[in-house]
Amino acid sequence: MAIIAGIDVGTQSTKVVVYDEETKTIIGSASRPHEIIAKSDGSREQEVSWWTDAIRECFLSIDSSITLTIDAIGVSGQQHGFVPLDKDGNALYRAKLWNDTSTAKECDEITLCAGGNETLLETEGNLILPGYTISKILWFKKNKPDLYKKMEHILLPHDYINYYLTGNYTCERGDSSGTGLLNVHTMEFSSRLASCIDKERDILSLLPKRIENSDLNGIIKDEIASLYRLKKGVVVSSGGGDNMMGAIGTGTVKSGTLTVSLGTSGTIFACSDKPLIDKNGYLAAFCSSTDQFLPLLCTMNCTVATELTRTLFNRGVKEADEIASSAPIGCDGLTFLPYFNGERTPNYPYGKGTLIGLNQDNMKEAHIARSALEAAIYSLRLGSDTFKAMGYDIKEIRLIGGGAASRIWRQMCADIFNTKVVIPTVSEAAAFGSALQALWAYKTHLGEKVSIEGIVATHVTIEEKSTYLPDPMRVEEYEKAYRRFLRYMDGVKEMFSTSQE
């Protein structure tokens, strides 16, 4: 029986969990926050040293009697981030993050070069959206030309942590599919898209070696083992993006299950045995980190809107939820478009937070607070509607992320999606999922015949008393408010999809 650690390097914090395979329990955990460098042009950046410092602090805060028993580690990382390294593996610049919208013009340039959205969907399977790594590389070339010339490696956040731990440059297809460079039909990086970045330099040669999801990235370096109070020889799995690891941590490794994550970003994703190409571009045709596919919708503004609203009124989380609960469904006609950081779905890189429909009856704290909660779920329902339209049979939704702790949001999800909602027992799904993927890789490395589906079936459980069912009357009321949300969303398209400068 093995002891496995999962590391999740997220936007707001790094989390570490240590899992005992035999007892099926989390025997150690820790978390450390990150800062974010935010600029008015939409830039969102972090120093990579903040991640490695946070990981070290997490391991050192867990008792050494636990850390010294760890056999394997899996790493989850925020998707789409861009980490440029020089020939010696040193970061040349801050990591540009998934929610960085400063590269909207570069997205347009690459899309035009690639023949437009229709050609992109037919050829590579995905659009070039703000947040994806590919536009950040072009931005780096244009804005930091001297550093660009020194760039010898292009890594994603989780790839960088793997490199930091083992010294090996690798990637896997799940996280790679979110770069904008992977052709999900052929499972190869696209040379034609790479040439849209640089026609003279071979960008693909700067990408790490791709390994299988059940493979090991390598063995942790002795100096890192000593620093983290780990034994020598601990293995590190391929890891993956946070949504890919969240899928494993919630058991979304077979068709019919849908995961919704309510975090800084909002995501809704499913498991498929083939790529789902959405002609409207709402669903990204991502790969999973379990050798399958992970069609996914992501919004850049989920808890962002509710946190800003709470700050405006100086309320705590529970207090804000209680106040929001006092307002009626639909907020008496008030609609929130929560596009504070620009938005990815819909593709509104120049979006702003907007309240529409204010009048003398709904200009109240409760209505504004509830409209922020509702808007986050309406935005994600675009995904569930698309899944249904493409023939995906949704049996239940597994709810994770910081927002999943909110009971009003739990019931709201059940009613707005008109689907049963359940809560996984382990709340830190990405960290837990990376631990389970590491368990899969570790056992495979030892020669055992195991499947990720079998591991998930054994170790992922659901809270028995946390099932939320839709109520027909509430479903009907939310449907009216959702249709109003869609009308307003479409109404601001021209203003928010192009620069108004």
Burial of 199 (0-12, 13-18, 19+ CB in 10 A): exposed
* Beta-strand relationship, 396-400 and 421-424: parallel
Of the residues 71, 100, 242, 278, only one is catalytic, namely 242
**Cα-Cα end-to-end distance for the chain:** 60
**34 Cβ contact list (under 8 Å, min separation 6):** 10, 11, 12, 13, 14, 46, 50, 51, 54
**Mean of pLDDT values over 53-73:** 98
Ramachandran bin of 285, using left for φ above 0, alpha for ψ from -120 to 50, beta for the remaining angles = beta
Residue 42 DSSP symbol: S
Instruction: Name the nearest CA neighbour of 146 among 88, 92, 90, 205.
Output: 92
Q: Looking at residue 343, what is its pLDDT? A: 92
The amino acid present at 311, given as its one-letter code, is T
Instruction: Name the nearest CA neighbour of 215 among 154, 267, 173.
Output: 173
* Beta-strand relationship, 95-96 and 44-46: antiparallel
Q: State the pTM of this model.
A: 0.94
For residue 265, how many C-alpha atoms fall within 13 Å in the half-sphere facing its CB?
A: 24
**Mean of pLDDT values over 123-150:** 96
For residue 361, how many C-alpha atoms fall within 13 Å in the half-sphere facing its CB?
A: 8
CB 408 within 8 A of CB 308: no
Residue count of the chain = 501
Q: Looking at residue 186, what is its pLDDT? A: 95
pLDDT band at 393 (very low <50, low <70, confident <90, very high): confident
Could you read off the pLDDT of 316-374 as tens digits, one per residue? 999 999 999 999 999 999 999 999 989 999 999 999 999 999 999 999 999 999 999 99
Question: At residue 418, does pLDDT exceed 90?
Answer: yes
Q: What is the mean pLDDT of the chain?
A: 95
pLDDT band at 501 (very low <50, low <70, confident <90, very high): low
Distances (CA, A) of 100 to 160, 300, 302: 18, 9, 15
Question: At residue 115, does pLDDT exceed 90?
Answer: yes
Beta bridge partners of 260: 268, 399
Q: Looking at residue 500, what is its pLDDT? A: 65
Question: At residue 417, does pLDDT exceed 80?
Answer: yes
Instruction: Name the nearest CA neighbour of 260 among 287, 293, 299.
Output: 299
As a whole-number percent, the residues of the chain with pLDDT over 90 amount to: 93
Question: At residue 50, does pLDDT exceed 70?
Answer: yes
Catalytic residue flag (residue 222): no
**Mean of pLDDT values over 435-463:** 95
Distance of alpha carbon 16 from alpha carbon 438, whole angstroms: 13
Q: Looking at residue 404, what is its pLDDT? A: 93
Ramachandran bin of 263, using left for φ above 0, alpha for ψ from -120 to 50, beta for the remaining angles = beta
State the DSSP H helix or E strand holding residue 146, giving kind and residue range, or none if neither. helix 145-150
Distance of alpha carbon 43 from alpha carbon 21, whole angstroms: 41
Ramachandran bin of 112, using left for φ above 0, alpha for ψ from -120 to 50, beta for the remaining angles = alpha
Cβ-based neighbour number of residue 446 at 10 Å: 11
State the DSSP H helix or E strand holding residue 295, giving kind and residue range, or none if neither. strand 293-299
Could you read off the pLDDT of 295-309 as tens digits, one per residue? 999 999 999 999 999
Q: Which domains can be identified in the chain, with CATH numbers?
A: 3-243 (3.30.420.40), 303-381+472-497 (3.30.420.40)
